[in-house]
A and B are shown apart, each in its own frame.
Chain A
Amino acid sequence: MSRSTPHRWSAVLGAALVATVALVAVPGVAAEDGLPATLAYSHAASDVVVRYVELPGELAETGGGTTLTIRGDGSATVHYPAYMRRAGDHTTALPRAEVDALVASLFVKGVSQFDGSAVRQQLRSAETARAAALTTGEGGVVLAAVTDASTTIVELSLAAAVPAGATVLPQMVTHRAEWRGLRNDLAQHPSITALANLAAARAELRTVIDRVHTEATR
């Protein structure tokens, strides 16, 4: 995982967060080396820092889909429902540096700023423009759809911003990025950055899933 993110962090923070976020040194919450001073997450084992779920569309089982849960202490658990080949819970411990890098990477990829409504509007505009441009000789338009697409959910829990000099403990705020049909929408509209970033985040998390599974079953 790249450790070259601080530079990019600075850019993001400069645009959005610098003014309101400050480092607060409190037990259980710390800013790590390599992370921007304004980004913090809980180190407590009881707190979930990253959660990723892929919900299958057609399947109505209550077990949901594959779930990755990374807690503040670095423990990473992958849950595969009973109807999956890897069924069961697999847990391993991730090094702190790796969790830091993952949190930073997800932040950079916009998980905490993901605005589903705005992206939908962007998608509509792109499709309308594309419709106007397309002709097929049969009514002039092309239709496309993917049925029963899965829903991608990525949650990132960060310490809320507190004013500089504040003495209160920051609250953990869970940011949620959720999109149905990510793979297809991105294939249709690769220029929509928010979707591309979410897909990249998803790919990164799936790499972690594979690693957790491999280590847990070794």
Chain B
Amino acid sequence: MMGRRANLGAALPALVVAVVAIGGLVAGPRTACAGAYIFAGESNPNVVAHPKGYLGTGGTVSVSVCVDPAFPHAADAAISLQNLVATYNALLPTTGNLVFGGSNNIPSGFIDVESTLVHEVGHCLGLAHPNLATESGLSGNDRNYTKAANGADNIYGTDPGSDGVIGSSDDVRGDDVNLHWFQRANNNPFTIAGTVDTSSYSRDPSALPAGHNFATNADRTVSTLYGVSNTEAVMQQGAFSDEDQRQLAHDDVATLRYAMSGLDEAAGTGDDYALVLTYAGQTSSCDIVVRFDSVSSFASCSVGGSFLNGTHVRITSASISMNTGYNWFFNDEFSFPTPTPTSTPTLTPTTTATATPTPTATATLTPTPTPTPTPTATATATPTLTVTPTPTVTATPTPTVTSTAPTVTPTPTVTPTATATVTPTPTVTPTATPTVTPTATPTVTPTVSATPTATATPTPTVTPTPTATPRFACTPPPVPTGPTPTPVTAAAEVCQRTIAKEAAKLVSARVRTLHKCEDRKLAGKLPSGTLCETEPKTAAKLAKAASKLTKKIAARCGGDNDVCDGDPTEEDPAALGFAADCPDFGASGCSFGIFDCADVTACVECIASAATVRSTTGLFDSMSPADPSVAKDLNKCQRTIGKEAARLAVARDKTVQKCWDGRLRGRHDDLCPDRAAIPGSNGRKAADKIQKAEARYVSKICRACGGSDKSCDDSLIGPGGSFFPGSGNADDTAVAAIGFGAECSDVAGASGGAVCLGPVATLGDLVECVACLSDLAGSCVDTARVPGFGAYPCGCNP
């Protein structure tokens, strides 16, 4: 095939200057980013760049990031910088990392500072654009071809191949010199090998899989070929307004991890290092200084480097300039990368191959160049580590390909902030059975040899670097896994939806009402000894909410007479998924038999009441209201805790209800919420929404109670696994002053459970405890009202 060529012509912008060989060293005084690693170029394509601080010996390489207070926006950028520090420390390979429009918190016409900084910090750590980008001198989409030097003819090859997609494996690039490191097994930048080093990655085109012309890059258009839409390496040049790209993609993580394999480019040897970023705050003294000025270009990183040896460079200086002339959006929410299922059961030669028919038979799985199986669900792990469970991929015709349990290779001990505890303990709690839905049938070509007993390395994706450990054993309640109830009639479906909806409404109403009462106590408007459940105004509201539940359920489930009186026309509780007995909640007396819809109503109401009372009293019982006229800040802190806890509970309740309702209507089969589901799915949407609420909850409380810096001292992990970096200071309002108890009592009862049990010594403990209590209470009510969707969490009634 004849390749189309883009002639640079005379008027094109400055090209990067090729480095030159001097005295046996491939070097030069200046080059722009010309490869997957900065400072690689045509004469030294194999250059690998390392972050500042790496000297060729193993250990931890710590890189501090700060924002210069002498320039604008220093305070505005603080949260984004802390978020990106957490992002790089997590090194989570993510799909679906492009979040657009209404799905993100960026106003239209604004450009996300955090996303831009994630990109520029990548450069400052030694990464280059995976695509040709503007430094090529090319224009338009041609910039999206995979990073290369233009070869002896000084002309880039720009033929997109038969698929017409620029940056894909069939691109015809003439004599271009590839600079993009690719996975030997599959040339798929949307996956990552378990071990990232020279055994699994290469820059040499001769190592490409058979049939591939060139290294594939992780452009958003290319991602659609692999069934992972809305995904792009953050290092790919080309950002847009109203676009959230704050999480690293597989290609970004692989490039960083390849460098972390050290000078010998072999993982597991003595020169490996762990990369740890820290946020140094508002100062001009750190490894990567960020400045907002009016003279720079849009955003850029000025980086200096020097050679460690012939092919390894270390960064020696780095600073980021951001131009103030743009509509920058400063994220004010702490967040943490939420990985999508990171298993990519791609059929590649590195997947365990078994079952060859004869002892001497050999088999190589040759996947078609593009689509790979798309995992639709994986596992939910504890926040410390996300590990792909054992996905099973079956290739046709034979052999069967089975990826075995992933190899967990946590990186060495990492301490991202002064207070974060790093626990690379591979505690894995797979909570869902992975469902793999191949989007293409891999082609098996039984021709290439492999020893019959060989067990190749599987290609799991491992979340390598946990950055903090939750203080509590706050394991999310078991995800419901039971069968979806299938109402036999439309009326039954309406009944079922009504129970779920009205129960959710009851929970929200009770939370709001009880918290309002507690807030009035804190504000000094009610005596501190008031028992809110019996306070007249509050009790009337609670009764009204309960009455509404009863009426609605009776109207939709009560049969011909619209009364739940046991008449034969009523909907059968068993058919709706209800067990013979109400499951109770923390020995609250909700353990009666369920025979008709009146019992269903009573059961749902009983559990909702018990859960909301426990989660409320668990929060306020030991709190000593501060006199607002004397201790205004402390009082504000206390009230904010109560207010935000209520908001979080209500947001969770509403979100989960909406998701369950969709499932009850047959619109999806997702779990609600499901953090491990694919982006865009109902379960994932619910999880994301809850996570946003969680971020607000933490942000507000830390702002109100976090002292002068308005940040919590400790890094936190929320119930859903969200990570919130701490300031590392020691100016939080003391727990004792707030009046919170020293223990986070189990919402469902003191005996057993222990879901949220743990000491409450710091504000961080308190924040986590309250969120945990709220989450557990919500989960209990969730599964009580839609019992057919799964088992009742054990923590609800220990």
Pick the interface stretch among A2-10, A30-38, A126-134, A157-165: A126-134
Interface size of A as a range: 35 or more
Report which of B10, B137, B301, B309 forms a contact with A147, defined as CB distance below 8 A. Answer: B301
Q: Is A148 an interface residue (CB 8 A)?
A: yes
Do residues A130 and B134 form an inter-chain contact, with CB atoms below 8 A? no
Do residues B109 and A141 form an inter-chain contact, with CB atoms below 8 A? no
Residue of A nearest to B49 (CB): A143
Report which of B14, B314, B324 forms a contact with A180, defined as CB distance below 8 A. Answer: B14
Do residues B29 and A131 form an inter-chain contact, with CB atoms below 8 A? yes
Report B297-328 CB contacts with A as 1/0, cut-off 8 Å.
Answer: 11111111111110001101000000111110
Q: Is A124 an interface residue (CB 8 A)?
A: yes
Do residues B134 and A148 form an inter-chain contact, with CB atoms below 8 A? yes
Q: In whole angstroms, what is the CA distance A115 to B11 when docked?
A: 7
Within 8 A of B (CB), among A126-159: 127-128, 130-132, 134, 136, 138-151
Do residues A136 and B297 form an inter-chain contact, with CB atoms below 8 A? no
Q: Is B789 an interface residue (CB 8 A)?
A: no
Q: In whole angstroms, what is the CA distance A146 to B303 when docked?
A: 6
CB of B113, distance to nearest CB on chain A (Å): 12
Interface size of B as a range: 35 or more
Report A82-119 CB contacts with B as 1/0, cut-off 8 Å.
Answer: 11111100000000000000000000000000011101
Q: In whole angstroms, what is the CA distance A54 to B19 when docked?
A: 27
* Complex contacts, A179 vs chain B, CB 8 Å: 13-14
* Complex contacts, B111 vs chain A, CB 8 Å: 59, 83
Do residues A83 and B13 form an inter-chain contact, with CB atoms below 8 A? no
Report which of A59, A143, A148 forms a contact with B120, defined as CB distance below 8 A. Answer: A148
Residue of A nearest to B24 (CB): A140
Q: Is B119 an interface residue (CB 8 A)?
A: yes
* Complex contacts, B18 vs chain A, CB 8 Å: 124
Do residues A128 and B20 form an inter-chain contact, with CB atoms below 8 A? yes
Pick the interface stretch among B176-184, B238-246, B618-626: B238-246
Do residues B11 and A140 form an inter-chain contact, with CB atoms below 8 A? no
Q: A84-B325, A139-B306, A176-B11 are in contact. Are A144 and B30 (CB under 8 A)?
A: yes
CB of A38, distance to nearest CB on chain B (Å): 23
Do residues B298 and A142 form an inter-chain contact, with CB atoms below 8 A? no
Q: Is A183 an interface residue (CB 8 A)?
A: yes
Q: Is A211 an interface residue (CB 8 A)?
A: no
Do residues A119 and B27 form an inter-chain contact, with CB atoms below 8 A? no
* Complex contacts, A144 vs chain B, CB 8 Å: 29-31, 302-305
Q: A83-B241, A180-B13 are in contact. Are A141 and B301 (CB under 8 A)?
A: no
Q: A58-B116, A83-B111, A141-B25 are in contact. Are A147 and B15 (CB under 8 A)?
A: no
Do residues B14 and A132 form an inter-chain contact, with CB atoms below 8 A? no
Q: In whole angstroms, what is the CA distance A56 to B134 when docked?
A: 9
Q: Is A61 an interface residue (CB 8 A)?
A: yes
* 10 A-B pairs (CB sep. < 8 Å): A57-B237, A80-B325, A139-B306, A141-B25, A142-B304, A143-B28, A143-B307, A179-B13, A183-B296, A188-B30
Identify which of A80, A85, A87, A139 gathers the most chain B CB atoms within 10 Å of its CB.
A139
* Complex contacts, A84 vs chain B, CB 8 Å: 325-327
Q: In whole angstroms, what is the CA distance A197 to B618 when docked?
A: 71
Interface residues of A (CB under 8 A from B): 54-61, 65-66, 80, 82-87, 115-117, 119-120, 123-124, 127-128, 130-132, 134, 136, 138-151, 176, 178-181, 183-185, 188
Identify which of A56, A120, A179, A183 gathers the most chain B CB atoms within 10 Å of its CB.
A56
* Complex contacts, B15 vs chain A, CB 8 Å: 120
* Complex contacts, A115 vs chain B, CB 8 Å: 10
Q: Is B448 an interface residue (CB 8 A)?
A: no
Do residues B14 and A120 form an inter-chain contact, with CB atoms below 8 A? yes
* Complex contacts, A65 vs chain B, CB 8 Å: 298
Q: Is B48 an interface residue (CB 8 A)?
A: no
Q: A119-B14, A183-B297 are in contact. Are A146 and B29 (CB under 8 A)?
A: no
CB of B336, distance to nearest CB on chain A (Å): 24
CB of B379, distance to nearest CB on chain A (Å): 35
Report which of B28, B237, B241, B296 forms a contact with A131, defined as CB distance below 8 A. Answer: B28
Pick the interface stretch among B32-40, B491-499, B500-508: B32-40
Do residues B241 and A82 form an inter-chain contact, with CB atoms below 8 A? yes
* Complex contacts, A185 vs chain B, CB 8 Å: 14
Q: Is B2 an interface residue (CB 8 A)?
A: no
CB of A90, distance to nearest CB on chain B (Å): 14
Do residues B12 and A148 form an inter-chain contact, with CB atoms below 8 A? no
